[in-house]
Every structure is written in structure tokens, then in C-alpha cells.
């Protein structure tokens, strides 16, 4: 758009045969060149500043401009004949006007035809200036134009300004050049528990907290030295000796370059300070709440992943258990069919097949019992049926029962025990199931030619059973989970069938006896289970 304005100015130079045309914006604070076509603009700086003075003091028209000494010097220096000034656009609420200044080269006056042409071009220029520099204020103005007579309102600006003062809840004031109150609004005075007349004539510093007076006077001195708005936070003291934290914004009022007073606004910060303090107090609580939320989130996340893991393990269990059922059932059905379908089968073979059927049947029964026990564990119905029995004898039988399975894999199985009697007051059947589980695991997870050792130590009040093997071992990362429901160590490439419930059951039985079970293992180097049980039930209370 400024290019369009420049083009318009060029058209004007052609119509008027002028060398220089300027578009100037003037308001109470400054003069600025919006567009310039012609000789070196630097040569017009002095002229512009005298134009600004003229604008502030008496207003501008072509005659008064031509009479300016700076204008005369400029025209003689540049051999210009005359200077015309035209009003292009005015924003009265900002007291701002855009002027067009045309310096003519050869003639004193313009022809009528030239004047007509200039009028039309000026209309265009006015719209261009509006669109480029005042489109926002135009909009605001356009709304008010519809409903009220804008000039009637703005002409009455002093009254309106006074009304504005009466409704402002901030302290709005005018000070004389010494810093004493000349004007103050009613609400502002009330903010300090005074009436308007009580404040007039008093010095601003009289209302400032003693410790802050120096700070405020320094800020006011700075304000006197500059045309800029100064902002400072300080504390005022009310008539009732209450402190009011405020932000003061102020600037000087000047006339003929002399400071004649100051005007400013004090904003009450009490509420904001209170909010800030409350916010400060709330901050630790907020941090704590955030901490709890993130804790809860991570707990929920852990809980969800636990449920997902349990779900996965359950699914795995279902597929493993079906496999565990299918294998013995296939042997039972296969061998029974052979016996039934072949009446000529030799007696020894019949006996051998029947033995397989019996063993596989036993395996199935054990599996079913394990599952039933597990469900009992889950609903807390597993109870002990205590009797007094010799643990040494029981373990001997266990070792012998498992020997055939061990020998099948050329695994040696040894039992080491002290001569003393090792009577135990416990549930014999359940402990048999538990030791059998550990022993069959030892055989299952030990390769051919391995060794299994069962040691029974007779301690003072307890017995200790150690079952160790030279098998494939358990990795350290899996050890904490092996007593968990359905947990099976994953061994890629060498999947060994199982359900992941054997050790759960073992641990529950030992726990019910108030005993202790621990495991030590090293991947590739074997596993050792250590079980400690109280000899006598009456001692159990000492363990809680
Ligand atoms: P499973 O029916 O799979 O044997 P368990 O609850 O009896 O289930 O055992 C859980 C897991 O502990 C097994 O999957 C196995 O990997 C591991 N485990 C148990 N005993 C031994 C052992 N003596 N040597 C190596 N791993 C073992």
C-alpha cells in the first residue's frame, strides 16, 4: 500500500509540475514523514521541525507555513517558488492529521484545471491513507458513527474525561510540577480512605510508605527527565494506616517544553498480591497432588500390566494343561486299544502295557489333584491334616518312587540323612505332594547323566531338606517369579512341558506349615531348593 501512496504522489508531481511532495503525519507528540517524492529528504528536516512547532502552537495552513522562516530559507536554497499544504485525513479523537505538502518549482499559483485534478487525486489519497494507516480506528469509529454524532462526543471531551475519572476504580491523579495533588478522582481518594478535598494540595510522597519514599522520588525524577511513561510498584498508606500495594504509572505534562505537572494512575494490587500469596501457599499442595496423581498413574499402569500378564499366563496355562492331559490320555487309550484288539498279545507285554496305563493314570490323577488343590488355594480352602510321622522314612520312599524316572535318564539320585529320628507334626500327604513336585522337577530339568541329591538335616527345632540337582538351572531374572501362578521359565529352543502350578502349590503347603522355602540356582549349573519345617506344631506360634 505505501507504494500505491507513493504512486499517487508521483501522479501529483506530474499534474503540478512540482519537484517535491511530502505526506506528513502530525499529532501532539511527533511529526513523521509517511511518504516522500522528490529531492533529498534530509534537506527538509529543519522545515519539518518548525512545522511541528507551528502545528502545536497555532495550527497549520498554507499561508502560515509559507511564512515560516525555515520555509523561506528552504525555498530560496532549493529555488522553489511556492508551498501548498492540503489536509488529507484527520483523526480527531487522536488529535492527528495527515497533510500533503507540495513545493512548486516554476509557478506561484495553480491553474483551475490543475486544482480540480488535485482535488480528485486528494480524494483517492485520503482513502489510501485511511486504508493503510487507520483501518483499525476506522472500524471503531464506524460503529460509533452509526449511533451517535462523533464530534458532539469528542468536542465535549473534557466533560467526558471528568466523568471517566468519577467511574474509575483506580486512583487517577494530576500533580503540579512540585508533586502535589491538583486533581484526584473520588474512588481513588476512597481507596486511601480520604475524600477528594483532603488529598488536594498534599504531596504524593505524603501517601507513600516511609521506606519506599526514596525509591518513588527517584522514579519521579526520572519521569521529569523523560517524556516516557514511568511505572513503579510501591506501597501507599491510607488514612487509617493500612498499607495498599499499588502500581503507579505516570508521565509529565509539558507546555512550551517546560514541565507543568504530572498525571498518573495507581492500580491497587491488594487482591492480586493476595491471590499470589494463596497461589504460593497452594503450590506445595499442587506439587504433592501432582506427585500423587503420577504415583496413582504408575500404580494403575503396573496393575494393568499385571492383569495383562496374568491373562497371558492363564491363556498359556490352558494350552499347556490340555497338552499335559492329552499325552497321558493318548498312552492310556493307545495301550488299552492294543490289549483289547489283540487277544493273542503275550502276557508279559500285556503286563508291561498295563503298567504304562497305570502310571499314566496316576499322572493324570496327580495333575487333576494339583489343579483342584490350586483352586482350593485360590479360595483359601486348603487346610492341613496333621499327624506325627517320620520325615526320614517319607523322604526315602519319595526318592525310591522317583528313582525309576531318574534312571531312565541315567540320573543318579542320592539321599543323605543323619541317624537321629526326625519326627514331624505335619500334613504327610501334602508334604509328599510338595517333595514329589520338587523331585520330579529336578528330574525333568536335569539332563542325562546328571545328579540329584536329597539331604535331610536334623536341627534343634526344625528339619531342613535340601534337594539339589546338576540340571539346566534358572536364570537370576526368573528366580523371583517361579513361585507365581502359571509362571514358566521360557527356554527358547528347549521347551519342556509343564503347567506352572507345581511350585505354587509347593510354596502354599510350606507356608501353611509356617515353614520356609528358598531357591538358589545358576543357569547351566543346577538348582537347589531348601525347605525348613518346624518339628512340632506347638512351636509354630513362636513364628507367628
Ligand atoms: P512346571 O509345571 O512348568 O514345571 P513349576 O511351577 O513346577 O511349573 O515350575 C515353575 C518353573 O520353574 C518351571 O517352568 C521351570 O522352568 C522352573 N523350575 C522348577 N524347578 C526347576 C529345576 N529343578 N531346575 C530348573 N528349573 C526349574
| Residue whose entry in the numeric block shows the C-alpha cell 500500500 | 1
Q: What is the pLDDT of residue 284?
A: 86
- Which regions in the chain score pLDDT beneath 70? 1, 93, 106-110, 113, 135-161, 373-381, 493, 495, 537-544
Q: Whose CA is nearest to atom 20 of ligand 1?
A: 441
Q: Is 488 in the pocket of ligand 1 (CB under 6 A)?
A: yes
Q: Is 508 in the pocket of ligand 1 (CB under 6 A)?
A: no
DSSP letter (8 states) at residue 484: S
DSSP letter (8 states) at residue 461: S
Q: What is the pLDDT of residue 141?
A: 38
Q: Are 232 and 247 in contact (CB under 8 A)?
A: yes
The number of the ligand 1 atom at minimal distance from the alpha carbon of 472 is: 25
- CA dihedral of residues 323, 504, 422, 424 (deg, nearest 10): -110
R_g (Cα) of the chain, nearest Å: 52
What angle (nearest 5°) sits at the alpha carbon of residue 498, between those of residues 497 and 499?
Answer: 145
Q: Whose CA is nearest to atom 7 of ligand 1?
A: 502
Q: Whose CA is nearest to atom 17 of ligand 1?
A: 489
Q: Whose CA is nearest to atom 8 of ligand 1?
A: 500
Q: What is the pLDDT of residue 309?
A: 74
Look up the pTM and report it.
0.43
Distance 355 CA to ligand 1 centre (A): 27
Q: Is 328 in the pocket of ligand 1 (CB under 6 A)?
A: no
Strands of the 230-237 sheet, one edge to the other: 181-184, 171-176, 258-268, 243-255, 230-237
Q: Whose CA is nearest to atom 13 of ligand 1?
A: 488
Q: What is the pLDDT of residue 147?
A: 41
d(CA 116, CA 416): 129
d(CA 446, CA 521): 13
Q: Is 28 helix (H, G, I), strand (E, B) or coil?
A: coil
Q: Is 474 in the pocket of ligand 1 (CB under 6 A)?
A: yes
Q: Are 402 and 413 in contact (CB under 8 A)?
A: yes
Distance 316 CA to ligand 1 centre (A): 15
Burial class from Cβ neighbours inside 10 Å (0-12, 13-18, 19+) for residue 182 reads: middle
CB count within 10 Å of CB 453 equals 18
Q: Ligand 1 test: best mutation among 322, 377, 482, most atoms within 8 Å of CB?
A: 482
Q: Is 500 in the pocket of ligand 1 (CB under 6 A)?
A: yes
The number of the ligand 1 atom at minimal distance from the alpha carbon of 499 is: 2
The number of the ligand 1 atom at minimal distance from the alpha carbon of 487 is: 10
Q: What is the pLDDT of residue 151?
A: 55
Q: Are 453 and 492 in contact (CB under 8 A)?
A: no
d(CA 314, CA 384): 27
The number of the ligand 1 atom at minimal distance from the alpha carbon of 488 is: 14
Q: Is 452 in the pocket of ligand 1 (CB under 6 A)?
A: no
Q: Whose CA is nearest to atom 4 of ligand 1?
A: 498
d(CA 23, CA 60): 14
Q: Are 200 and 182 in contact (CB under 8 A)?
A: yes
Q: Ligand 1 test: best mutation among 369, 435, 445, most atoms within 8 Å of CB?
A: 445
**Rounded to an integer, what is the distance from CA 78 to the centroid of its chain?**
68
The number of the ligand 1 atom at minimal distance from the alpha carbon of 505 is: 6
Q: Whose CA is nearest to atom 14 of ligand 1?
A: 488
Q: What is the pLDDT of residue 95?
A: 77
Q: What is the pLDDT of residue 13?
A: 79
What angle (nearest 5°) sits at the alpha carbon of residue 180, between those of residues 235 and 168?
Answer: 60
Q: What is the pLDDT of residue 6?
A: 82
d(CA 16, CA 118): 8
Q: Is 499 in the pocket of ligand 1 (CB under 6 A)?
A: yes
- Sign of the four-CA dihedral 415, 419, 425, 429: positive
Q: Is 441 in the pocket of ligand 1 (CB under 6 A)?
A: yes
Q: Is 2 helix (H, G, I), strand (E, B) or coil?
A: helix
Q: Is 471 in the pocket of ligand 1 (CB under 6 A)?
A: yes
DSSP letter (8 states) at residue 111: -
d(CA 306, CA 469): 32
Q: Give CA separation, 296 vs 284, 293, 308, 392, 421, in Å.
A: 18, 5, 18, 51, 54
CB count within 10 Å of CB 65 equals 20
DSSP 216-243: HHHHHHHHHH-SS-EEEEEEEE-TTS-E
Q: Give first-to-last CA distance, the chain, whole Å.
A: 92
Distance 376 CA to ligand 1 centre (A): 21
User: Could you give the residue ranges of the DSSP H alpha helices within 44-149?
Assistant: 45-57, 62-66, 69-78, 112-133, 135-147
Amino acid at each position: 500500500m505505501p507504494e500505491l501512496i507513493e504512486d499517487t504522489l508521483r501522479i501529483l508531481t506530474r499534474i503540478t509540475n512540482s519537484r517535491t511532495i511530502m505526506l506528513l503525519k502530525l499529532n501532539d507528540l511527533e511529526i513523521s514523514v509517511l511518504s516522500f517524492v522528490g529531492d533529498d529528504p534530509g534537506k527538509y528536516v529543519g522545515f519539518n521541525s518548525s512545522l511541528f512547532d507551528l502545528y502545536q502552537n497555532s495550527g497549520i495552513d498554507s499561508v502560515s507555513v509559507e511564512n515560516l522562516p525555515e520555509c523561506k530559507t528552504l525555498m530560496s536554497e532549493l529555488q522553489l517558488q511556492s508551498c501548498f499544504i492540503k489536509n488529507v485525513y484527520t483523526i480527531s479523537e487522536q488529535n492527528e492529521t495527515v497533510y500533503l505538502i507540495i513545493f512548486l518549482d516554476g509557478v506561484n499559483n495553480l491553474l483551475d484545471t490543475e486544482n480540480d485534478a488535485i482535488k480528485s487525486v486528494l480524494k483517492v489519497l485520503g482513502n489510501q491513507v485511511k486504508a493503510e494507516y487507520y483501518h483499525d480506528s476506522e472500524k471503531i469509529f464506524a460503529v460509533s458513527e452509526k449511533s451517535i454524532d462523533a464530534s458532539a462526543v469528542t468536542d465535549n471531551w473534557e466533560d467526558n474525561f471528568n466523568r471517566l475519572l468519577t467511574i474509575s476504580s483506580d486512583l487517577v491523579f494530576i500533580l503540579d510540577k512540585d508533586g502535589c495533588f491538583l486533581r484526584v478522582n473520588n474512588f481513588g481518594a476512597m481507596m486511601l480512605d480520604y475524600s477528594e478535598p483532603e488529598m488536594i494540595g498534599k504531596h504524593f510522597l505524603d501517601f507513600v510508605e516511609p521506606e519506599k519514599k526514596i525509591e518513588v522520588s527517584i522514579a519521579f525524577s526520572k519521569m521529569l527527565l523523560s517524556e516516557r511513561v514511568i511505572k513503579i510498584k510501591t506501597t501507599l498508606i491510607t488514612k487509617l494506616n493500612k498499607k495498599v500495594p499499588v502500581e503507579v504509572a505516570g508521565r509529565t505534562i509539558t507546555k512550551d517544553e517546560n514541565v507543568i505537572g504530572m498525571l498518573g494512575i495507581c492500580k491497587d494490587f491488594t487482591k492480586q498480591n493476595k491471590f499470589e500469596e494463596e497461589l504460593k501457599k497452594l503450590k506445595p499442595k499442587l506439587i504433592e497432588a501432582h506427585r500423587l496423581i503420577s504415583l496413582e498413574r504408575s500404580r494403575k499402569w503396573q496393575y494393568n500390566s499385571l492383569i495383562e500378564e496374568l491373562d497371558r499366563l492363564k491363556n498359556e496355562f490352558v494350552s499347556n494343561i490340555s497338552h499335559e492331559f492329552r499325552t497321558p490320555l493318548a498312552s492310556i487309550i493307545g495301550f488299552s486299544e492294543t490289549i483289547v484288539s489283540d487277544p493273542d498279545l503275550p502276557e508279559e507285554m500285556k503286563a508291561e502295557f498295563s503298567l504304562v496305563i497305570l502310571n499314566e493314570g496316576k499322572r493324570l490323577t496327580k495333575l487333576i489333584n494339583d489343579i483342584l488343590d490350586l483352586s482350593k488355594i485360590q479360595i483359601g480352602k486348603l487346610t492341613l491334616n496333621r499327624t506325627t510321622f517320620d520325615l526320614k522314612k517319607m523322604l526315602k520312599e519319595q526318592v525310591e518312587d522317583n528313582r525309576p524316572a531318574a534312571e531312565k535318564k541315567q540320573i543318579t539320585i542320592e539321599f543323605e540323612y543323619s541317624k537321629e529320628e526326625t519326627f514331624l507334626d505335619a500334613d504327610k500327604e501334602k508334604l509328599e505332594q510338595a517333595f514329589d513336585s520338587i523331585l520330579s522337577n529336578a528330574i525333568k530339568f536335569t539332563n542325562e547323566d546328571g545328579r540329584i541329591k536329597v539331604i535331610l538335616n536334623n536341627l534343634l527345632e526344625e528339619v531342613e531338606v535340601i534337594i539339589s540337582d546338576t540340571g539346566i538351572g534358572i536364570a537370576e531374572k526368573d528366580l523371583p517369579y517361579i513361585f507365581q501362578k502359571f509362571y514358566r521359565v521360557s527356554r527358547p529352543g528347549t521347551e519342556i512341558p509343564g503347567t506352572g502350578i507345581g511350585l505354587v502349590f509347593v510354596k502354599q503347603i510350606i507356608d501353611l506349615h509356617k515353614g520356609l522355602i528358598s531357591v538358589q540356582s545358576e543357569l547351566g549349573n543346577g538348582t537347589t531348593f531348601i525347605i525348613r519345617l518346624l518339628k512340632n506344631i506347638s512351636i509354630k506360634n513362636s513364628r507367628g
